[in-house]
Amino acid sequence: MLTGPQVILTLKVLVIAVTVLLIASLVALAVKRPRLHGRINTVFFALTMLTVVAFEGLLQFIDVSATFDDATRAALRTHLYFSVPSTLVLPFMLATGKMRLKKAHLALSAVFVVLWTGTVITGLGLPH
């Protein structure tokens, strides 16, 4: 059985891992490699979705009220306020990128960057 600190540490590691992919994707754009940007984003999308589904599934199997104290539950809730909307934006961002709808893709990207920044800050700030 996983403990609360193990769950939080795992979440932090996964947030860092996919953020590194996101940064690599932006670097690919900066060096004018749009196909590489798209490929990295596809992996980023898959890993992010897998992380969200796995984390949600994990939370269904542990007793959240017994595993986490009030402050940690509140911090997790705040983290979810950013991570869930960013996850909902991702499929649309991926689709607009694949369809080369540049204006829509850039608009969604701006929203996503704000949400992802909140996801990273609140995810790494979780107590463990």
User: Cα(15)–Cα(52) distance, rounded to whole angstroms?
Assistant: 10
The structure's pTM equals 0.87
- Total domains, the chain: 1
User: Cα(97)–Cα(38) distance, rounded to whole angstroms?
Assistant: 7
Please give the helix or strand (H or E) that residue 18 lies within, else none: helix 4-30
**Per-residue pLDDT reduced to its tens digit, 67-118:** 888 888 889 889 989 999 999 999 999 999 999 999 999 999 999 999 999 9
User: Cα(96)–Cα(106) distance, rounded to whole angstroms?
Assistant: 9
pLDDT of residue 1: 67
Query: Which DSSP category does 87 fall into?
Result: H
Query: Which DSSP category does 62 fall into?
Result: S
82: containing domain? 4-124
Would you state the structure tokens that stand for residue 16, as one six-digit string?
């860092």
**Per-residue pLDDT reduced to its tens digit, 14-69:** 999 999 999 999 999 999 999 999 999 999 999 999 988 888 777 777 777 778 88
User: Cα(45)–Cα(73) distance, rounded to whole angstroms?
Assistant: 26
